[in-house]
Structure 1
Amino acid sequence: MSRPDDLPPRELRPYLDELVRRTRAVCGPHLLSVLAVGSLALGDYRHGRSDVDVTVVVDPALPRPALPDLAAALAHPALTCPAAGLELVAYPADFAARPSGGAGYLLDLNTGPSLPGRTSYDPREAPAFWYVLDRSLAHQSGIPLFGRPVREVIAAPERSDVLAALRASVREHTDGEGHVADNRVLNGCRSVVYCRTGRWFAKRRAAEVIAASEESFRPLVTDALRSFERPREAALTLPGTAVRDFLAWVADRVDDAVGAEAGTDGGPAQ
Structure 2
Amino acid sequence: MSRPRVPPPEVRPYLGELVRRTRAVCGPRPVSVLAVGSLALGDYRHGRSDIDVTVVADDSLPRQALRELADALAHPALECPAAGLELVVYPAGFAARPSGGAGYLMDLNTGPSLPERISFDPGEAPAFWYVLDRSIAHQSGLPLAGRAVRDVIAAPDRPTVLDALRSSVREHAEGEGHVADNRILNGCRSVVYCRTGHWFAKRRAAGIVAASEAEFRPLVTDALRSFGHRRESALALPGVAVRGFLEWVARCVESAVAAEGGPAAGGPAAGGAMPG
Under a length normalisation based on structure 1, what TM-score does the superposition of the two structures give? 0.95
Alpha-carbon distance, 1:8 to partner: 1.3
Unaligned runs of 5+ in 2: 263-276
Whether contact under 8 Å (1:176, 1:184) holds in the other structure is no
Distance, in Å, in 1 between the alignment partners of 2:168 and 2:62 is: 33
Tell me which residue corresponds to 2:89: 90
Distance, in Å, in 2 between the alignment partners of 1:26 and 1:208 is: 42
1:33-52 Cα shifts (integer Å, max 9, x gaps): 00010000110000000000
Classify the secondary structure of the residue corresponding to 1:184. Answer: helix
Residue 196 of structure 2 is aligned to residue 197 of structure 1: yes
Alpha-carbon distance, 1:7 to partner: 1.5
Distance, in Å, in 1 between the alignment partners of 2:140 and 2:37 is: 8
Alpha-carbon distance, 1:131 to partner: 0.1
Return structure 1 stretches of 4+ with deviation > 4 angstroms.
Answer: none
Whether contact under 8 Å (1:102, 1:131) holds in the other structure is yes
Tell me which residue corresponds to 1:228: 227
Whether contact under 8 Å (2:5, 2:142) holds in the other structure is no
Residue 148 of structure 2 is aligned to residue 149 of structure 1: yes
Residue 76 of structure 2 is aligned to residue 81 of structure 1: no
Residue 211 of structure 2 is aligned to residue 216 of structure 1: no
1:194-242 Cα shifts (integer Å, max 9, x gaps): 0000000000000000000000000000000000000001000000000
Distance, in Å, in 2 between the alignment partners of 1:159 and 1:9 is: 30
Task: Name the aligned partner's letter for residue 233 of structure 2.
Answer: A
Alpha-carbon distance, 1:63 to partner: 1.4
Alpha-carbon distance, 1:88 to partner: 0.3
Tell me which residue corresponds to 2:16: 17
Task: Name the aligned partner's letter for residue 141 of structure 1.
Answer: S
Tell me which residue corresponds to 1:40: 39
Tell me which residue corresponds to 1:252: 251
Distance, in Å, in 2 between the alignment partners of 1:121 and 1:6 is: 31
Q: How many residues align?
A: 261
Alpha-carbon distance, 1:11 to partner: 1.1
Classify the secondary structure of the residue corresponding to 2:177. Answer: coil
Task: Name the aligned partner's letter for residue 129 of structure 1.
Answer: F
Alpha-carbon distance, 1:6 to partner: 5.3
When the two chains are superposed, the root-mean-square deviation of aligned CA atoms in Å is 1.2
1:81-120 correspondence to structure 2 within 5 Å: 81-120=80-119
Alpha-carbon distance, 1:143 to partner: 1.2
Distance, in Å, in 2 between the alignment partners of 1:80 and 1:254 is: 38
Cα pair distance change 1:95/1:6, threshold 3 Å: closer
Under a length normalisation based on structure 2, what TM-score does the superposition of the two structures give? 0.93
Identity over aligned pairs, percent: 77
Unaligned runs of 5+ in 1: 264-270
Whether contact under 8 Å (2:97, 2:154) holds in the other structure is yes
Alpha-carbon distance, 1:122 to partner: 0.2
Distance, in Å, in 1 between the alignment partners of 2:9 and 2:93 is: 34
